[in-house]
Chain A
Amino acid sequence: MGSVTEHNSEVKAAMGRMSRRSFLWAGIAALGAYSGVHWLASRQEDWGTPWPFRRALEANQGVGMDLYRKGQLSPTYLKADLTELRQNGDVGLEEENFDPSEWTLTVNNVFGKDEPTVLTLEDIKKLPVTTQITEMFCIEGWSMKVEWKGVRFADFAAKYPPSSRTSNPPDVNNKPEELVRYVSMMTPNEAYYVGLDMASALHPQTLLCYEMNGEPLSLDHGAPLRLAIPVKYGVKNLKRIGSITYTDQRPTDYWAEQGYDWYAGL
């Protein structure tokens, strides 16, 4: 049976040649994958993360904004569903002896106003009141269901409107896409700040909030006025709003500067 042995060694040799070729390719592919990962991780940082990741987060934001539906509401819940309140994050609340009764809100770039508009809590409370129980998602991975009471930002913006990017006067309710594209909010000491896209700010569930779970806001939850924006992670729900600025330049953002997604949309 010499012919079978001969035949078999030929088969094995052929397989050997084929294997060498394939494993060479496999080696090149593995090296390419390793280099790719190393390259990604070692690029220059852009707002706290290597730039390819920043570009990817921005591309994801594009997809998120394209698929964003204004009418898509965060599910609402009953009082029986409320979960224990958690407090997380003190940045921007450092000021000792902060007195909520002395507080005023500064609104910059209101349409037709050269000077900042300064409002008191009474001014805010004149707007229609909205109460809703929604889930707040912390970027860390936990969530809580809270009853928020305040005024819709859309109502606030209709009363104190941003400028239009067109020659038309601003029409917050009917032509929000013509408005300047962003809103910036900061704590009074400007230590914590968030940037929001106008569409999310005008979402019907975005509230300027002065009560949580039926109680006036406590200091550590952002008295006297905070943002409740269920279409964003908790990090965007700024406590103790000191100023609101309408702008067409993408505003800076405390956590986005440290490597997080600027959009943070849910």
Chain B
Amino acid sequence: MDDKPLRIEEKHPLAIRWFHWVNFPVLAIMIWSGLLIYWANGVMHLGPIALFPDWFYHPGYQEKPPKPGVYELSARLAEGMSWHFLLMWFFTINGILYVLYTAISGEWRHILPSRNTLREAIHVVLHDLHLRKEAPSQGKFNGAQKIAYTGVILMGLGSLVTGIAIYKPVQASLFTQLLGGYTVARFLHFWLMMGFIGFFFVHVAQVIRAGWNNFRAMVTGYEIVADEVTE
């Protein structure tokens, strides 16, 4: 029923859309190449679970006679480093430009959490989980989004700082030492990456839930909004 007059409203500035969509493939390649590096010495655990188990690196290792690894992921360190140390510039520069743009344009007002954000975010989560009926009123982004988007920017900064600490542990030893040493920096760098993957899945699920009009706005910049009819 088209009983409310519709109009087209600008939602995301062109620059933000570029930063967002450049970051997506760049971060994807950073994660992939980072894993190629990590797999040369995969020591992380999630509780008792090794990340990753032997069969993952050498899928044929238990067969008789043992098949050579199908993927030999652990033997692609040089390839991973090549990609990682080229794309790191794109990731860093794109991130810095994004933060500068957001700061100067005033867009930061939409994502920086304020005093009420946490309470609002809890309401959003309860609403999303169908534990609470009414959605809290919101501006461009709701409280949960504000926390998630500000958080993921801080995670990006964290990846940069821990990355420098690992990349130049002598020339940038101050970073490495402040973070608690090389092993700790590597641990943090790894779990920030896992955080990005977690963010990605929640983000995509929420985009699907929010629907086409919302997604289209991230590509075109505009969305269709319905004006409230005043009787």
Contact = CB atoms under 8 A, between A and B. Distances in A.
Interface residues of B, number: 39
A259 B41 contact: no
Interface centre among A57, A64, A75 (most CB of B within 10 A): A75
A106 interface: no
A138 B166 CA distance: 11
Interface in B1-21: 2-8, 21
B3 A15 contact: no
B77 A140 contact: yes
A258 B78 CA distance: 8
A166 B160 CA distance: 41
A259 B29 contact: no
Contacts of B85: 56-57, 60, 261
* Highest count of chain B CB atoms <10 Å: which of A8, A33, A49, A141: A141
B105 interface: no
Interface stretch (B115-123, B142-150, B217-225): B217-225
Interface stretch (B46-54, B133-141, B169-177): B169-177
Nearest to B1: A5
Contact of A48 (B5, B29, B41, B78): B78
Contact of B171 (A26, A33, A53, A72): A72
B86 A137 contact: no
A260 B8 contact: no
A15 B171 contact: no
Interface string B26-44: 0001000000011011010
B40 A15 contact: no
A22 interface: yes
Contacts of A57: 82, 85
Contact of B177 (A37, A75, A142): A75
Contacts of B168: 64, 265-266
B6 A8 contact: yes
Given A5-B2, A12-B224, A56 B86 contact: yes
A74 B182 CA distance: 12
B83 interface: yes
Nearest to A67: B171
Contacts of A56: 82, 85-86
A52 interface: yes
A99 B52 CA distance: 42
Given A1-B3, A72-B171, A135-B169, A19 B219 contact: yes
A57 B89 CA distance: 12
B5 A230 contact: no
Contact of B79 (A8, A138, A259): A259
B81 interface: yes
B73 to A, nearest CB: 13
Contacts of A7: 5-6
A266 B21 contact: no
B222 to A, nearest CB: 6
A52 B186 CA distance: 27
Contact of B170 (A18, A29, A231, A258): A231
Contacts of B182: 135, 137, 143
B183 interface: yes
B170 A140 contact: no
Given A15-B222, A135-B182, A141-B38, A29 B81 contact: no
Q: In the complex, which of the residues B40, B77, B170, B221 has the most CB atoms of chain A within 10 Å of its own CB atom?
A: B170
27 contacts: A4-B2, A7-B6, A8-B5, A11-B6, A11-B8, A11-B224, A12-B6, A12-B224, A15-B8, A15-B220, A18-B8, A18-B222, A22-B221, A26-B21, A29-B21, A68-B171, A73-B173, A74-B169, A135-B182, A137-B169, A142-B43, A231-B171, A260-B77, A260-B81, A265-B171, A266-B168, A266-B171
> Which 4 residue pairs across A and B have the least CB separation, nearest first?
A259-B78, A141-B41, A53-B82, A22-B220
